Amino acid sequence: MTHVLILGATGNLGTATARALTDHFPDVRLRLASSRPAGVAKLQAAFPAAQAVQADWYDPASLLKAVEGTDKVFIVTPDFVTDELQVTPNIINAIKRAGGTSQVIRFTAIPPGLTAHDLAPEFLATRCGANLHTLAKPLLDASRLPVTYINAACWIMFNLPWFVANDVKTKRQFIMPSVSDAPRLHLSELDIAAVAARIIADPAAEHVGQDYLITGTERLDYRQISALLSEVIGETVTYVDSDSTLREILGDYFEPVMTYYRHEVEAYKDVPVTDTVQQLTGR
């Protein structure tokens, strides 16, 4: 029986993966970690059959305790607040000390071939998106652990409602600054979770050593998304070039995110379309 630890279980992708495993692979035993007591309580309430534990990836002792007794570890780190140069070595050391880990699954969002050496210091300093992951991946590559990467080098769909839903609902306007616009590949967090659950449930040997690039199937810019929304709701949704809503939502994170966008719109434009989601999920 597979026993998996999900680090980052209270985040969007961690929770979605725990739900996909619970619904479709009930034989997988879940250990779900949060750094906060409130997060542990939330996870235990949402997943009563799982074991919710408190583990802080800045605290090696708590990490070791969380890893012990599991044979797979799924890692999802949040933007902005993660120091990958400290967190990733802590996780690697805990896994090595615990022993018995057959597979480490790491979520990334790196355009193929992009490395930290390609990024200007101002972009790395944002601690956002692939900037974090380009620091973590070389450490995992050098660790000699049995790693599988799930690399979603595209926009995850939960970004859209977070940024634009209220304006679409109340004003029928899609409000985002044009400097952040690009023909992007979009992928649902539920599809990412389905891929992660499939990989976790499968025998480790089927996926160890793989770096799976998963993407959406169609490039869409802001005006095309506005047109799709208009078609779906039967009312015109107009794209508005403004940073007002984004500035309000992001607060102190606005400037780092805008700095990140100036890099992201270029780095992601040539990401190839893949059918990896379809291959791994069988649908």
Is the Cβ–Cβ distance between 136 and 107 less than 8 Å? Answer: no
pLDDT at 41: 97
- State the virtual CA torsion across 123, 10, 83, 35 in degrees, nearest 10: 160
Question: How many degrees, rounded to 5, is the angle at CA 209 between CA 204 and CA 213?
Answer: 105
pLDDT at 165: 95
Question: How many degrees, rounded to 5, is the angle at CA 98 between CA 95 and CA 102?
Answer: 60
Share the mean pLDDT of the chain. 93
Q: Which percentage of the chain shows pLDDT scores above 90? A: 78
Residue 121 has pLDDT above 90, yes or no: no
Dist. CA 151–CA 213, nearest whole Å: 5
Query: Mind listing the pLDDT tens digit for each residue in 209-253?
Result: 999 999 999 999 999 999 999 999 999 999 999 999 999 999 988
All domains in the chain, ordered by first residue: 3-156+186-216+270-281 (3.40.50.720)
Residue 128 has pLDDT above 80, yes or no: no
3-state SS track over the chain: CCEEEEECCCCHHHHHHHHHHHHHCCCCEEEEEECCHHHHHHHHHHCCCCEEEECCCCCHHHHHHHHCCCCEEEECCCCCCCCHHHHHHHHHHHHHHHCCCCEEEEEECCCCCCCHHHCCHHHHCCCCCHHHHHHHHHHHHHHCCCEEEEECCCEECCHHHHHHHHHHHHHCEEECCHHHCCCEEEECHHHHHHHHHHHHHCCHHHCCCCEEECCCCCEECHHHHHHHHHHHHCCCCEEECCCHHHHHHHHHHHHHHHHHHHHHHHHCCCCCCCCHHHHHHCC
pLDDT at 177: 95
Dist. CA 138–CA 180, nearest whole Å: 28
Count CA atoms closer than 13 A to 31's CA, side-chain side.
20
Dist. CA 59–CA 201, nearest whole Å: 28
- State the virtual CA torsion across 97, 31, 87, 39 in degrees, nearest 10: -140
Query: Mind listing the pLDDT tens digit for each residue in 173-207?
Result: 999 999 999 999 999 999 999 999 999 999 999 99
pLDDT at 47: 98
Average of per-residue pLDDT across 15-32: 97
